[in-house]
Amino acid sequence: MSTDPSSSARTTTGHDPDGHGPNDLDVVKVRADFPILSTEVHGRPLVFLDSAASSQKPAAVIEAMDRYYETTHANVHRAAYSLAEAATNAMEGARARVARFIGATSPDSVVFTKNATESLNLVARSWGDANLGPGDAVVLTELEHHANIVPWQQLAAERGTELRWIPLTDDGRLDLTDLDRLLDGAKLLALSAMSNVVGTITPVRMLTDAAHAAGALACIDACQYVPHVETDVHALGADFLAFSGHKMLGPTGIGVLWGRPELLEAMPPFLGGGGMILDVTKDGFTPAAVPHKFEAGTPPIAEIVGLGAAVDYLDALGMDRVRAHEVSLTAYALRSLTERFGDDLTVYGPAEPDGRGGVMSFAFRGIHPHDLSQVLDQHGVCVRPGHHCAKPLMRVLGVGATARASWYVYNDEADIDALGDALEDAGRFFDF
């Protein structure tokens, strides 16, 4: 276990993985599970506020991957010897745990990819190629990440598909005034469950019900949702749902696509090669059963094992506690930073903490976000400047970029205070 050099300034709320209420998350104990959080940056304790881009990893995840490589590694699904069987069982056991984590009724509906971007491209290039043509409509929202925009734009350019957009209100929520018209005749609604920029939690079930009533399917980008909110793909009314391991304490290089089994069964393979076939002749091939039909080549076995360990870690914390902690921390950030800086700070997105995730995109005085982030880095405070792979949303907000702070299970009020102190220093540095 690591030792956090700033832990003496932190408080505990009494979290015990075996009990206590949903608000009881002991950040001191949680932080001790993350080796990187014991490091310093420029002589200061690391204050990591960039989990919306990629979260840090607990020792349990790192150790699970190390243990796999030390004791279990072999290629999966291709041999009868015991080591290969153990590797296969480790991978498929992780698939089953991921399925349970998102409320899926069958592990076979969980397809492993290298990230959520690949998952969404899989839907576009497999389901989309088979089902969309000239004049068909796909409905998007102005909140979307490029990963849930560009694949549909590519398809539209190639096949003549129409793209329609759900606009935003001034506070960063979806403007559903014209929803019925936008969905009329559409074949797909593709939307984020939680914005990676302004934190907006969208009314997913209402929107999926509306899509189904209009005869459309619903594809959910849940990258920011699954790591932070208890997720049930069936309760959300999803037809497809995509997320990434590295945003939920897991490793990079592993993503997930969940799809309704009957849809996956009907879709053609996305990539061709080894592992995704049942038979190959000179005249053609027969694909393997789902999910292996979509998992060509050697899979990222160690990363899948790491994702399974991340799921176990989050399960032990309790997703109700994770969400309650982030709502509380978001409320503190919005209140304390607004009181501290007033009109010098502009926060984008909904004002109510329970209507948003642990993401705060902001502008501070007239300082460019990239300059601001560099000064904050001198304090050990990690925030992300830029367009956050959401340029259409930036244009709606009327800015070229924002600074974005995002928190997770290992952050607490001391981190928000450190952000505030660093912002004050940035104001002095730029003589505002």
Choose the final residue of a domain: 266, 293, 315.
315
If asked whether residues 212 and 82 sit together in one domain, one would say yes
If asked whether residues 136 and 181 sit together in one domain, one would say yes
If asked whether residues 194 and 302 sit together in one domain, one would say yes
The CA distance from 57 to 5, in Å, is 18
pLDDT on residue 5: 32
Q: Please choose, from the candidates 405, 397, 400, 421, the residue with its C-alpha nearest in 3D space to the C-alpha of residue 142.
A: 397
If asked whether residues 294 and 146 sit together in one domain, one would say yes
Q: Please choose, from the candidates 24, 45, 27, the residue with its C-alpha nearest in 3D space to the C-alpha of residue 36.
A: 45
If asked whether residues 163 and 150 sit together in one domain, one would say yes
If asked whether residues 105 and 160 sit together in one domain, one would say yes
Number of domains in the chain: 2
If asked whether residues 290 and 378 sit together in one domain, one would say no
Tens digits of residue pLDDT in 202-255: 999 999 999 999 999 999 999 999 999 999 999 999 999 999 999 999 999 999
Predicted TM-score of the model (pTM): 0.94
**The domain containing residue 323 runs over which residues?**
7-49+318-429
The CA distance from 260 to 241, in Å, is 9
pLDDT on residue 78: 80
If asked whether residues 148 and 283 sit together in one domain, one would say yes
If asked whether residues 308 and 323 sit together in one domain, one would say no
If asked whether residues 120 and 23 sit together in one domain, one would say no
Q: Which residue reads 């209100």 in tokens?
A: 169
Task: Specify whether 389 is catalytic.
Answer: yes
Res. 106: pLDDT tops 90: yes
* C-alpha 91 chain-centroid distance: 21
Tens digits of residue pLDDT in 353-401: 999 999 999 999 999 999 999 999 999 999 999 999 999 999 999 999 9
Q: Catalytic: which of 219, 223, 382, 389? A: 389
Q: Which strands sit side by side in the sheet containing 384-386, from one edge to the other?
A: 345-347, 359-364, 402-406, 384-386
If asked whether residues 213 and 256 sit together in one domain, one would say yes
Interval 166-178 mean pLDDT: 97
Tens digits of residue pLDDT in 273-328: 999 999 999 999 999 999 999 999 999 999 999 999 999 999 999 999 999 999 99
Burial class of residue 260 (count of CB atoms within 10 Å of its CB; 0-12, 13-18, 19+): middle
